[in-house]
Every structure is written in C-alpha cells, then in structure tokens.
Amino acid sequence: MKFYIEEHKGNSTDKSRIEIVERKGLGHPDYMADSIAEAFSRNLSKYYIEHFGTILHHNVDKLEIVGGNVDVEFGGGKFLKPMVMFFSGRATTKVGDKVIPLAEIAEQSAKNFIKENYRFVNPDDKKQIIFMIETKSSSTDLVGVYEGKDALSSGKILANDTSIGIGYAPLTITERTIKELEMYLNSKKFKEKYPYSGEDVKIMGTRIDKKLDLTIAMGFVSKFVDSETGYWKYKGKIMEEIRKFVESKISDSEISLNEKGIDLGENGSKGIYLNTADVRKNREGKGNIYLTLTGISAEQGDDGAVGRGNRVNGIIPFQRPLSMEAVAGKNPVNHIGKLYNVMAFRIADKIYSELHTQIRQVEVKLLSQIGISITEPYIACASIIPADNAKVSDLEGRIKKIFEGELTNEKFENLRKEFVEGKIEVC
C-alpha cells in the first residue's frame, strides 16, 4: 500500500467564493432508483446468507424507472399509462439444483420501499406501476475474482475492479443545510402538517460569498388542492416554513439568505424560491403549476436511473471531488465502487474528528487494483488543508495510523454487515 499525504493548496470549500450544492429528494426518480436497487441487493444478500450461509456474487446496480402518464386535475386525477420499473444487472441465479427467486425478491423489495415511503403510490396496482425483471446470471470473470481466494472464509477479499473511492470532511454549512432541509420537507411531521406537499423534492443551493439562494422544486398532491387559488395559498405557506427552517440552521453561522436576491413574486424572493416555472392563468386560461397525482414526478414522464442522483453522503456538491461510481445495488463484499466510497468518507471523518483543531479540510482517495486485497489499496491519499497553526508534515504519522486502523478485514466486515442491515445511506 502506498500512502500519500499532501498539503492542498487553496481555500477550503466553505471559504470559496462560489459554492453550488444539489440534493435530489425522496420522491425524485433517481433517488427512487438508487434506493430500490440497494433494497434489492440487501434482500438478496439476506436470502443468500439464510439459504447458503454467505453472500453470493451479485451486482444489481442497473435499474431504471420509466415515467408514466397521468391526467391530473384539482381534487384528483387518474393514471393513463403506468410507470415501469426495469431491473437488470447480474446475480447468482442458481446453486446446485436450487433456483434463486430473483424476480420475487426484486419486486417485493420495490413494493416494500414504495409502500413505506410514498403515500399515494400503490405498487400492487398495475395501472400505476409495473415491474420488469431481467436480472441475469453473473459474469464468469467477476465471479472468479469474487470467489478466487475463498473471499468470505479466508478473510482475504479481492477487489472486483480497478476503481477509486473519494470522501471528504467536514461538510460545509451549505451542504448540511440543503441535506437537512430536504429531509425535513419529507419528514412524517412535515407531511402531517402539509399533506398537500409531495415527496418529489429537489433543492439547488448557491452560495456566493456569504449569501445563500435556494431553488426548490416540490410537486403538490392534487387530491388536497381544489383550485388554483388554493395552490398558491399552500405554496406561500410552504415557502414561509422553508424560510424559517433555513434561518434556524444558519443563524449561528457567517452566511445568511440573500436578502437582495431576485424577486420572482409568488415564486419566491430573498433567497427562497419554490417551483419557479409556475405561472398564474391568464385571460386565455393558460398557466402552469406543479400539480401531481401521487406526489412524485415519475408519474408523468420523468425517468430515473441508478447512479444519477446524490453521492453516498446524500448530496451532489459541485465544488468537491466526485466519484462517478454508483454505490446502490453493488455487492457489499468486494465491489470497490461501493466499499471504497463509503470507507473514504469514514476515513475522512475520522481524520477530521481527531485533528479538527489542526486542519480545516481533508479529502481522501482510495484506489484499488482488480484482484488485489481490498485492505491493500494501490494508493491511499489524503489531501489536507491545515489550520493556520499547523504543518501537514507534523500530522503525517497520525494520519497514516488512521488509514491503517480503518483498512482492515474487521472494518470491511463491519461495513458489509451494516450494508446488509440497511444502516448505511447510499443516496
């Protein structure tokens, strides 16, 4: 293993002039695709363990949601064409004479997730959604790498790919605020208070110097909205709630909402903007509002796919280094795209936690080589922005010790168990 610990020249992300951060929320089709692919992998892993005592090879990270078509009106609406959930990817389909019920596991994983998270989608209604399961048997080469050194019994697990995982710490105020805002808007408490707010929420945050602007998209649920007047009234209430929440999160920081931001009238002002494509009906009856039947945009032609949404820490930060690897649906035993991205964030968090008085920011990169033990990355790199009173050279020993303490069979085994138990967020 080659350790590289370097000083990063430049400002930390929170000190950059411009910061842009996105979060795709619970009802966004890309979030749905990631979450359901991960649920499929998790339930498949549990089945393999229950029946064969170990997690067999699989990568079910190829899942796409094809949007449907609806007729929406104030007070309700109906489906004209169902959403389609398409599963592909690869998995162990048979052991001896025993056939693995892949289609059943895939469909039930999706139905359970939908029932738990989307109030107005019925996964048992084929007029709303249909499932196409085309997951096939695994690649011989990759199975060979997976099983090459008796991975789970010998403790020497071989990387399935030459790939990189990236993590960093700490999150900026902008990043934390955007993530927490979406989680609040999709919380049970918020939905009980504002039942007309849909689950499909997307937030784009822009900080310029110390001023923050948030542009939010949120579908409104038609059964609770009886008129255009009602829509605009509800929208105003939600914007007020968003402003209060954001101000409570940033009140003790050096940033604030952009009081001089563009005035879009009923679509927002002073840093908070909601559904900015909305237009009131004119005399000719033409207008536009974000009204949905189910609260999710996949009902009406908006598609989703694994890997297009949030990174493993729940945001899409455009000023940060990013891995393009999809984490959701990959096997939790030796898939580097899954393991190293989570491990890189854990190492970064630990470095910052232990050295936060001496560093401002840390970025961690882990590079694998296919066929080599996952505990021995080809490169393990930490880029450090030190505090004013610190030198990176004085911290190298402690940072190297953290790497060595985290890149162990035991830590990867714990990581695997957490994935199977559903304790790790992937989007």
Q: What is the CATH number of the domain that holds 64?
A: 3.30.300.10
Q: What is the CATH number of the domain that holds 332?
A: 3.30.300.280
Asked whether residue 41 falls in the same domain as residue 118, the answer is: yes
| Tokens matching residue 12 | 């930390």
- At 152, the pLDDT band (50, 70, 90 cuts) reads very low
* Average pLDDT of every residue of the chain: 94
Q: Are residues 324 and 257 in the same domain?
A: no
- For the stretch 188-238, pLDDT in tens is 999 999 999 999 999 999 999 999 999 999 999 999 999 999 999 999 999
pTM of the model: 0.94
Q: Return d(Cα 89, Cα 87) in angstroms, integer.
A: 7
Is the peptide bond preceding residue 170 cis, with omega within 30 degrees of 0?
Answer: yes
Q: Are residues 167 and 180 in the same domain?
A: no
Same-domain status, 167 and 140: no
Q: Does residue 200 share a domain with residue 113?
A: no
Q: Is the pLDDT of residue 145 over 80?
A: no
Residue 382, domain extent: 2-14+163-171+317-420
Q: Summarize pLDDT for 285-334 with one digit per residue, the tens.
A: 778 999 999 999 999 979 999 999 999 999 999 999 998 899 999 999 99
The answer as to whether 357 is a domain residue is: yes
Pairwise CA distance, residues 192 & 116, whole Å: 15
Q: 10 Å Cβ neighbour count for 2?
A: 10
121 with 61, same domain: the answer is yes
Considering the domain architecture, whether residues 33 and 138 belong to the same structural domain is answered as yes
Q: How confident is the model at residue 150 (pLDDT cuts 50, 70, 90)?
A: very low
Whichever domain contains 264, its CATH number is 3.30.300.340
State how many domains the chain has: 3
Answer yes or no: is 22 within a domain. Answer: no
Both tokens of 375, joined, read: 């505990």
Same domain, 188 and 276: yes
289 and 192 inside one domain: yes
Whether residue 263 is contained in a domain is answered as yes
